[in-house]
Amino acid sequence: MSDPEAAAQPPPQVSHRGRSAAPIASSNADGEEVPEFEPFGLMPRGPPPLKEFLDIWDVNMLRKPNEVNKQQHSTYLYASDHLIVRRGQEFQLKVTFDRPYKPSDDKFAVEFVIGGSPQFSKGTYIPVSVTSDRQSLWAGRVVDSTDNVVTVGITPAPDCIVGKWRTYVAVVTPYGIRRTRQDESRDVYILFNPWVAADSVFLDEGNEREECVLNEVGVIYHGAFDDVSERPWNFGQFDYGVLDACLFIMDKAAMPITNRGDPIKVARKASAMMNSRDDDGVLVGNWSGDYTYGVAPTSWTGSTEILLNYSSSKMPVCYAQCWVYAAVFNTFLRCLGIPARVVTNFFSAHDNDGNLKTDIILDENGRIDKQRTKDSIWCGPASVQAIKHGQICFPFDAPFVFAEVNSDVVFYSRNPRDGTLLPVKVNSSHVGRMVVTKAPGQDTRRDITDQYKFSEGSPEERTVLEKAEEYGCQREKATPLEADVDLDMPLIEVRVGDDFELKLEFNNKSGQARTVDVYVSGNVVYYTGVTSSEFLFKTPKVTLDPRKAEKKVIQVRSQDYMRQLVEQANLHFIATGKVKETGQIVTAMRVVTLHNPKLSVQVSGLAKVSEEMLVTVEFTNPFKFNLEDVYVRVEGPGVMPPKSKHYSLITAGSSLTWTESFTPRREGPTKLMASLDCAALRQVYGQAQLTVKP
């Protein structure tokens, strides 16, 4: 028997003692009071006579959006009253003394401190001298000295810690160091700098840098490679509170302050923190279709609301799916100055354990064996060059990402007697068919497949696959004979709620008649490729004359698939069959993207900074059924914070009109983005462009 009193004992106290002399600083929010006067050794009673030495009257951080620092550092878009600069590049501040500064007699420094227990050796305490004979890790100089005002230039090291630094001005006297008292308004945020070659995040192509750091409005692509759908997203990296929320994510992860100058460590830690399963991270994943206790993933219009909710509640936000994780992670990276973009791969091999095969198992009749087919077709940072060249030994998830874009879809026929699997068809081009992202400076998509892989069938591709095999990736070597009957399912465009015809086109290339027993399966699938439910199963038989083609038409009714729909729903049709005369297998796959109705978004009023405007969102229910428990959201970077409205019912054929006021806070081109979401209808979006005048 166990002792109940012993079982109730608290766990032993965990201590860092024996490993380090003090706890590792892991919070940017922590800070210690720096003494206003730090004596050199023992002092006699009473205050020292300091009147003859420099006294600091004022420190101007030059932190306004139209002043030199934010303009030169491309940080004027941040909705923050604090100074925000980028490392490896000079910024300026003005110090007003009680008398003119005399370089020969006076000694002063600007001190920067981050985190708790700051130390010079750790790079968390940086004293910056303005004289050439006392330079530190950060360069300092006097830019100008007029009357009592000295303009100081500070250049943080290009690999310094990224975060919120406290700033002090210190004057050296024979008795000790006299400092300004701590003032939060003098805190300075130092970010990564893709404009400076010495920074490891440097990006030399101007248009790419503009897009991947400064652009707030993104496009996320989904659907099928030959029928691409898109939705807008407000990354909102400059919105009020977002920068602090990004720093909080690193604090929440207890990431050591000293690691926060390394973009790889920052990106890897933040990637893990996007998911609530890691250290109570930002977002709770949910693919169930039940979002009662949160926001449906398809309802979000941007990252701002998610990040602000997380930083204020200190709790994970409900709910997300993959594109939400990607978009919020993209916001985090751009906000801190790391160039980033959201990429969509059509189609990804997600459940392949890092091998190069996505297996589809057929029974002896050519029908898919659903019990044995487990793979589906749909990361931490990995080198894109390593992925393209098969160097999957590189950290951190290179084997996984390589397989995502290079797997073959292999059809196996299972022998019912002994369970052995015989490869009967290999499709080497379905996975990784196309990789896209938003084009720099435009709302069009850009095909970047060639950045991740060489052309299908090229000598370079064969070399890369052989290289990957050397590192342990397995792929199917067999080359089954091609069937002499071709099967194709042509592309069709379908609006959600419509009945439609699915066409199967057969072509007999042989000089003899052929009979094909076909199995056609229609499934509602998540954007990941994982099957939600099968809504259609047909077994047509096709007889083909020699060297003739034949079409079969299958009627698909909306009432069969509408009740099964999930978010970002696609319909996935797979046709498999066996040629009676030869035993050969024929297969075809088609992803049908369901196109949703659009929201109308209109703006009215004078588009001018600080002038009130109106946005009107309109929607008409085009279906024969009611929409219940409907949420509408709208937001726009620099002009409108996220707002939402709930409608309990939108009856069939009826319309809603929602008008909301907003006041632009800055000039320039921007967008308002809106979404409508309910259980019966996901992925309904609209947007309006406007250019705000000063």
Task: Report yes or no on 364 lying in a domain.
Answer: yes
For residue 353, the model assigns a pLDDT of: 43
CA dihedral 626, 492, 345, 470 (to 10 degrees): 140
pLDDT tens digits, one per residue of 411-427: 555 666 666 555 555 55
In a 10 Å sphere around its CB, with 0-12 CB exposed, 13-18 middle and 19+ buried, how is residue 659 labelled?
A: exposed
Shared-domain flag, residues 486 and 571: yes
Decide if pLDDT at 374 tops 50: no
- Give the CA count within 13 Å in the CB-facing half-sphere of 680: 19
Cα dist from 468 to 389, 461, 648, whole Å = 8, 11, 54
Shared-domain flag, residues 175 and 293: no
Average pLDDT, the chain: 82
CATH number at 309 reads 3.90.260.10
Shared-domain flag, residues 359 and 313: no
Shared-domain flag, residues 248 and 315: yes
Report yes or no: 651 and 198 within 8 Å, Cβ to Cβ.
no
CATH number at 583 reads 2.60.40.10
The whole-angstrom separation of Cα 322 and Cα 529 is 12
Shared-domain flag, residues 433 and 549: no
CB-based contacts of 371, cutoff 8 Å, min separation 6: none
Cα dist from 223 to 122, 148, 277, 380, 408, whole Å = 49, 64, 28, 24, 20
Task: Report yes or no on 6 lying in a domain.
Answer: no
Decide if pLDDT at 604 tops 90: yes
For residue 589, the model assigns a pLDDT of: 81
State which H helix or E strand residue 631 sits in. Answer: strand 627-636
Report yes or no: 578 and 585 within 8 Å, Cβ to Cβ.
yes
Structure tokens at 51: 């009147």
Task: Report yes or no on 630 lying in a domain.
Answer: yes
Of the residues 298, 318, 342, the one at which a domain ends:
342
Query: What percentage of the chain carries pLDDT values higher than 70?
Result: 75
- Max Cα separation, the chain? 113
In a 10 Å sphere around its CB, with 0-12 CB exposed, 13-18 middle and 19+ buried, how is residue 321 labelled?
A: buried
- Beta strands (DSSP E) in 459-596 are 485-488, 494-495, 500-508, 514-525, 531-538, 541-544, 549-556, 570-579, 585-595
Shared-domain flag, residues 79 and 142: yes
Name the DSSP letter for residue 10: P
Structure tokens at 356: 């190069």
Mean pLDDT of 32-42: 77
Shared-domain flag, residues 308 and 427: no
- Predicted TM-score (pTM) of the model is 0.81
The whole-angstrom separation of Cα 611 and Cα 77 is 18
pLDDT tens digits, one per residue of 676-685: 998 888 889 9
What range does the domain containing 50 cover? 37-191
Mean pLDDT of 632-643: 94
Task: Report yes or no on 5 lying in a domain.
Answer: no
The label of the residue with tokens 């460590």 reads 265
Strands 83-86, 188-191: pairing kind: parallel
Shared-domain flag, residues 674 and 533: no
